[in-house]
A and B are shown apart, each in its own frame.
Chain A
C-alpha cells in the first residue's frame, strides 16, 4: 500500500485529544456541526487529494507553466481538478453561510488543507489566494466593490492575487514606487511593475482580480503613503459583463525551484494610459488592509510547511519499513537475510527527528489556528482578546519554526531514502523543494525574528511574552501530576528560565548598546524561542499520551501513545539543549557576524 499522506490516527489525536475540537460545537457559530461533519469534510478533502491531485502531482512539477509571449499554458489536467475542489466547497469552508461557506472551524479546515497541499502542492494556491483576496475585499471594500468583485471571486469565475513586491522592493515595502493618479472619472490610473505575483496570469479563470499596492501622487513617503487598489485583468461593466483588457501585461514568468504549478509572474501595469484601479477603503491605508490578514497568512505558511514535513515523514517511514538493506553491526553472517532499514538505529533517529519536527510543527500551527479562531469566536470578550494577544505575539514563531524545520525534516526524508530520495521517482525531493519557499515568503526568517525581538516582546509592557510564559507554566503544572513527566517538566522549566534571562539581557542591551549589534543575532533568539515553544507543545502531547496509556488502550493505541512519549524524549535530549549555546551567543552579544567586514570574505 502506498504511503499515507498524513497519519490519520495523529489527525484524530491532534483534533480530538490535544485540542478538544469537539467543544467548538458549543459555540454559536459552529452549532450546526458535530464530529461527524468534521470527519465527513476531512474524508472529502482526503479523497479529492487522492483522486484528483495525487495522480497529477508529478506532472505538475515536471511541466512548469510556459509563456509563449501571449498566453500561459498549464497542464490541462489542472483546471478540472481545481473545479472539483471548488465544487466541493472546501476552498471557502470557513466562510459564513451567507457567502456559501460552511462555517467550518478553521482548525478542521487546516487539516483538510494539509491533505490538499500534500497532493496538490502550490496548485491549491490559486484557490487559497482567491479566497484570501475575497476575504480582504469583504472586510475593507465598499458595497460597490463587494457586489462587483467578491461574488465572482467566491463562485470561482474570477481568481485573485496580491500584488505587493516590485523589482526594487520586496521585504522593504515602504520603498515601493507603483503610482496611482486620479483620473477625471474619479477612478485611479495605476502604472508600475510588480514581480513574484503568484497566480498573476493563467488560463484557469475568466478574469483575474489583482489587489495592488501603489502610492498616490503626493502621498507621504514610506509605509504611511501606500494605498490598495482593485485592478482587474479585464474591465467589467455594471452588468458584470467582461470587456476590454485593462493594460495588465504579463512581462514574464519566473522559474521556481519548487511549487512550480502556481505561476509566479512579473506584471506591468498601465504601460499606455494607466490601468484602471478602484480604491479599497481609504487612501494611504493599503498596507494596513493588506496586513489585516497577515496573521492568518503567516499561519497558513507555517501550516503548509508542517504539511509537507508530515508528508515526507510518512513517505520515508513507509519506505524504511519496506526497504531491506544491510545487516546490523552485530550480525556476522553475510548470508543472513538483510534487514529493513528501519532496523538501523540511525534510520530511526532520522525518522524520530522528522516526527519531532513535523508533529511538533503541526501542533504549533493548529494551536495558532485555534488562537486565531478564538480571537473571533470565543465566548467572552476577555477570552477573545487574550487569544489575540497570544496569537499576535506567537505569529513569528508559528510562521518560522515549521518553515525552518519543515525543510529540515524533508532533508532527512531524502537521507532515509538515500540515492532513491535524490531522484524524482519518489516525492521527497519535491517536498523539499516545495517547502524551501516557506522561510522566504510572507516575511523572511530574519524579518520574523526582528518582529519578535524588537517589536512583539517589548510591546504593551511585555504582555504577549508574559502571557506565553504563563501558558507554558500551566502545562508544566499539569505535567508534574504525572511521575513519567516530572523530568521533562523540570527541563522545560530550566529552558524557560534561560529564555527569560536571555530576553532580559537583550531588552536591557537594546536600551544601552548599539541596537544594530543587539539585533545582529535575532534569528538565534527566534530559534531559541521556537525550540522552547515546541518543547512545550511536545510536553502537552506527552500529557495526553500518558493519560491515554493509563487508560489501558488497545495495542495499536498503546503503540501510538508510546511513540508520542518517545518523541518527546527525543526532542528533550537532542534538540532542546541546543538553546543553551544559542543563549550564550545572545547574552554575550556575540559579534562574529556583526564585526565581519565585507572585504574580509
Chain B
C-alpha cells in the first residue's frame, strides 16, 4: 500500500511572527522555517504504517519554492522513501494546492493520503477536504487514531462532543490532529540517508492547471499590544469603568 503525505513549509512555531512594515504580509525574511507540525504528525503516521508492514512506500510531496526541499528532506529523514517537489514561486490557494495534489494522486495511485488538518500559518483547514472532493475519495478528518482493517481504514476523529470513529473505504484521505502520535527524532544516520533518497522536482505549471489566485491579501495586522493595567481607587470606580469604558456590564 502506497501512502502519500503532502507537507507544507511554514514559519517555525517557536518564532515570534513579525508583520511587514507596509502590512502587506507576514515578514519571512531570515525567519526560521520548519515542517508544519500537523504535517510532521502525518509523516510519522505513514512511517509507522510502513514499519508495521501495512504500507509499502511512503511518498512525501510539497508545493512551493525551492526552499521547501528542506522540509522534504526532513520528511525523508523521518522515514519517507521518496519525495516529490512541485516547484512554484506563486503563493497558492488551498484549492490550487488540492488540484495539484489531485494530479499527484492520479499519478501515484496511493491507497492512503495522510495530511495535516491545517497549517499553522494560514490555518485554513481546507486542503484535505478539497482533495477528497476532487479525487472522490472518502475522508476522515482530525484523526487521533488510524487503523487499517483490510480494505477499510478506521479513523477516530476528534469532534466537538468527544470522539467519533468512522470506517472509510480505501483509498481514503486522513487529516491529522495533534494527538495522533508523537513524531520521532530524526536520527543522525537517517538525516544523512535522506540526502541520498530520490527527490523529483516537477514545475507546477507543467500540470496544466490555472494557478491564478482566488483570494488576495489586503492587509495583515499584528494583534493589538496589551496595554498596561491601572489600579482603581474603589469598587465603585471599578463598576463605573466596567460600565462606561469597557461596556461589559450595564
Interface of B is mostly: loop
Q: Chain B, interface size: which category?
A: 20 to 34
Q: Which of A8, A553, A554 has the most chain B CB atoms inside 10 A of its CB?
A: A554
A276 to B237, CA, bound (A): 86
Q: Assess whether B62 is interfacial by the CB under 8 Å rule.
A: no
Chain A residues lying within 8 Å of B26, measured Cβ to Cβ, are none
Chain B residues lying within 8 Å of A100, measured Cβ to Cβ, are 189
Chain B residues lying within 8 Å of A557, measured Cβ to Cβ, are 30
Interface of A is mostly: helix
The digit string for B218-234, where 1 denotes a CB below 8 A from any CB of A, is 00000000001101000
Asked if residues A104 and B188 are in contact (CB atoms below 8 Å), the reply is: yes
- In this complex, what residue of B is CB-closest to A109? B188
- In this complex, what residue of B is CB-closest to A102? B188
Q: Assess whether A93 is interfacial by the CB under 8 Å rule.
A: yes
Asked if residues A40 and B74 are in contact (CB atoms below 8 Å), the reply is: yes
List CB contacts (< 8 Å) of A223-237 with chain B: none
A594 to B189, CA, bound (A): 56
Asked if residues B70 and A102 are in contact (CB atoms below 8 Å), the reply is: no
Q: Assess whether B27 is interfacial by the CB under 8 Å rule.
A: yes
Least Cβ distance of A74 to chain B in Å?
23
Q: Which of A32, A47, A93, A337 is the one whose CB lies under 8 Å from B195?
A: A32
Q: Assess whether B77 is interfacial by the CB under 8 Å rule.
A: yes
List CB contacts (< 8 Å) of B198-250 with chain A: 228-229, 231
Q: Assess whether B186 is interfacial by the CB under 8 Å rule.
A: yes
A36 to B34, CA, bound (A): 11
List CB contacts (< 8 Å) of A27-48 with chain B: 32, 36-37, 40-41, 43-44, 47-48
Asked if residues B189 and A102 are in contact (CB atoms below 8 Å), the reply is: yes
Chain A residues lying within 8 Å of B32, measured Cβ to Cβ, are 8
A92 to B68, CA, bound (A): 29
Q: Assess whether B157 is interfacial by the CB under 8 Å rule.
A: no
A554 to B20, CA, bound (A): 10
Asked if residues A44 and B185 are in contact (CB atoms below 8 Å), the reply is: yes
Q: Assess whether B122 is interfacial by the CB under 8 Å rule.
A: no
Q: Chain A, interface size: which category?
A: 20 to 34
Chain A residues lying within 8 Å of B74, measured Cβ to Cβ, are 40
Asked if residues B231 and A37 are in contact (CB atoms below 8 Å), the reply is: no
- In this complex, what residue of B is CB-closest to A34? B195
Q: Assess whether B136 is interfacial by the CB under 8 Å rule.
A: no
List CB contacts (< 8 Å) of B160-188 with chain A: 185-188
Least Cβ distance of B227 to chain A in Å?
12
* New A-B pairs, 14, CB < 8 Å, besides A44-B185, A554-B29: A8-B14, A32-B192, A32-B195, A40-B191, A44-B186, A48-B185, A88-B187, A93-B188, A102-B189, A102-B191, A102-B192, A337-B229, A555-B18, A556-B18
Could you show 18 A-B contacts with beta carbons less than 8 Å apart? A8-B14, A8-B32, A32-B192, A36-B73, A37-B192, A37-B195, A40-B73, A40-B77, A41-B191, A44-B185, A44-B191, A88-B185, A88-B188, A102-B192, A337-B231, A554-B27, A556-B18, A557-B30
